[in-house]
Every structure is written in C-alpha cells, then in structure tokens.
Amino acid sequence: MGMDATLPAPWRIAWRRPESAAGDVFTWAVEPVDGTGSSFLPGQFNMLYAYGIGEVPVSISSDPAGTPWLHTIRAVGSVTRPMAALKVGEVIGLRGPYGSAWPLVAAEGGDLLIVAGGLGLAPLRSAIYQALRRRSHYRGVYVLYGTRSAADVLFADELAAWRDGGQIEVAVTVDRATPDWSGEVGVVTRLIHRAGFDPATTTALLCGPEIMMRFAVLALQQRGVPDKAIHLSLERNMKCAVGYCGHCQLGPHFVCRDGPVLAWPRLSNLLGVMEL
C-alpha cells in the first residue's frame, strides 16, 4: 500500500455510469490524484470516503489487470446516497485495498463455479475477468446469477457477451418475471442443481444476500461440493477496516482482515445465528 493504512488518499472520479433503471446503482471509475496506483486481488475492497460525510467499504468490481479501478455502489443510506450525487471530476478519499481474495489460483485445474445474487455480482466481476484471462487453466467456468427482476440484472450487457463468447457458461434467473423477461424464473439455488459442473473438482465462489448464500451452500452440499471448496464474501459494518476496532467482528473473525472472503468451514456455525 505504501501509505498509512488508515489515511485516505485523494482519488478522482474519472467517469460514472448508472447501472440500474431506477438509478440507485452506479459504477465509479476512480484514479489516484497523485498518479500512483497500486494493485488489488479479486475479492478485495476499498474504504471510500465522501469528504465530510463518511466512509464505506466497497468491493472493487474491475479487472485486476487494468485501470482505472471500478466500484459499483448501491445508494442505500447516509453515505452512499450523497455519493450518488457526486459528479465526474470530484475528489473522494480512498484507502485500501483490504481483505482476503477469492482463491482463484487454488481453483485452477478444476471447475470454477461463481454464484452471485443481486449486487453480489460486483465483487465477483473482478474474479470473472481474471478467470477469463486464465481460462485455459480451468476445466469449466460457470456463472450463475440470480436477481430480483429483469430490471435489476446487473451488468446485463457483459453477462450476455460472456454467454455469447462461449468461454464460460452463464445462467441468469430472476425471482419475479415481468412480461419483458423470457429467461429463467426462480431462485439462483435452482441453477446450482442444473449446472454441469463436476462437484469433486469444483471451487465455488458465492456473493449475495446472506440468506441466499446459506441456501446456495445447501444446494452445493446436495450436489456433493466439499465444504472446504465453498467460499463466501461477507458484509459487516466496518470502521477501521484494518483489524483494530472490532466493528466487523463475526464470532472469532474480523471480516475486514480475515475476510471478506472466507471458506465455509469457518462460517458454518456462525451464519444464521441471531445477533452475530
């Protein structure tokens, strides 16, 4: 990182793109004002600071081999809503990247299964880019994506391009069909039962609402994917992001430092327990 890990550096919003019809989801491309970038691993996140307002953790959704860095953000509250109003050229604070990465290298040699729900596709997009670049190192690469409705499909153009490109298998399902949707309907766990991956050699990467991930784990176990091959990215409220403050504690883990990507055997007794 080469800087005080808790001190945000100034980064400029290079461009901005709306990602949802409702306008609540947008992508920011950001560049360091002083020009010195660094590198990140798929799955890692940055702390983004809207000056004078507050700081939030956001995953990096771009290709780790390229710049600028992209962050895909949903405006939900007191920090992310004002962020949605910032304009191209404005400066934000950024510190990171932080946290653990998807085990993409360890997964090489077998099937790679990516299961994303809703906005959970954003932290997995960087993993998909990397897997595409190293495609020959995997047997099959499967992307299973579930979201609320046709209007909520994130990165719809890219999903279509990946599917048409034929290098990876892409399946998209929505919970609620509208007349304009001719694709699959039903929760994403159903796609797990149908996908053609080989459970014995599969590494599964999951990101989405926690309830969705719990049922996805169950579906993976039913298919015979070993627990240690199942990896989840978790979200917890964060403050320091470097393992000092304890805000992000989940049982014995600090999500900012030990996570956000954690293997299922470390989580099986913790998820779904009230108040953790």
Partner 1 sequence: MNLRELVDSQRFCQGLTPGQCTGLAACAGERSFAPGDYLLRQHAVADTFYLVLSGEVQIRLAVPGQGVVTLETIGPDEAVGWSWFVPPHRCQFDAHAVLPTRTLAFAAAPLRALMEQDPTVGYAVLKTLVGTLTQRVQSCRLQVLDVYAPPGA
Ligand X SMILES: Cc1cc2nc3c(=O)[nH]c(=O)nc-3n(C[C@H](O)[C@H](O)[C@H](O)COP(=O)(O)OP(=O)(O)OC[C@H]3O[C@@H](n4cnc5c(N)ncnc54)[C@H](O)[C@@H]3O)c2cc1C
Positions that interact with ligand X (CB under 6 A) = 45, 54, 56-59, 72-74, 76-80, 119, 122-123, 235-236, 238, 260
Least CB distance from residue 260 to ligand X, whole Å?
A: 4
Contact 141, 116 (CB under 8 A): no
Q: Which helix (H) or strand (E) holds 22?
A: none
Nearest alpha-carbon partner for 61 in 107, 32, 102, 105? 102
Q: Does 198 help bind partner 1 (rule: CB under 8 A)?
A: no
E-only strand ranges, the chain:
9-18, 25-32, 45-50, 54-59, 69-74, 91-98, 111-117, 141-147, 169-174, 184-185, 202-207, 230-233, 249-250, 253-254, 261-263
| Contact region with ligand FES (CB under 6 A), list: 100-108, 173-181, 218-226, 232-240 | 232-240
Residue 151 touching partner 1 (CB under 8 A): no
Q: CA-to-CA distance for 119 and 82, rounded, in angstroms?
A: 19
User: For residues 190, 153, 48 and 103, what is the CA-based torsion angle, rounded to 10 degrees?
Assistant: 40
CA atoms of 210 and 87, how far apart (whole Å):
32
**What is the contact mask toward ligand FES in residues 70 to 109, using x (rule: CB under 6 A)?**
----------------------------------------
Shortest Å distance, C-beta 163 to partner 1:
15
The answer to the question of residue 248 lying near ligand FES (CB under 6 A) is: yes
Choose between 190 and 239: whose C-beta lies nearer to ligand FES: 239
Under rule CB under 8 A, residue 123 binds partner 1: no
| Residue 260 binding result from ligand X, ligand FES, partner 1, none, given CB thresholds of 5 to 8 Å by partner type | ligand X
Q: CB 259 → ligand X: shortest distance, Å?
A: 7
Binding partner of residue 244 among ligand X, ligand FES, partner 1, none, CB cut-off 5 to 8 Å per kind: ligand FES
Give the shortest CB-265-to-ligand FES separation in angstroms.
21
261 touches ligand FES (CB under 6 A): no
Query: Which region among 91-99, 136-144, 187-195, 248-256 touches partner 1 (by CB under 8 A)?
Result: 187-195
Alpha helices (runs of H) in 59-180, residue ranges in sequence order: 80-84, 121-133, 156-165
Token couple for 201: 């050699």
Using the rule CB under 6 A, is 245 a contact of ligand FES? yes
Tokens 């990140």: give the residue.
40
Distance (Å, whole) CA 169 – CA 202: 14
Which one, 135 or 148, has the nearer CB to partner 1? 148
Instruction: Give the CA distances from residue 117 to residues 38, 69, 134, 212, 214, in Å, rounded to whole numbers and listed in that order.
Output: 29, 22, 24, 7, 12
The residue among 76 and 105 lying less far from ligand X, judged by its C-beta, is 76
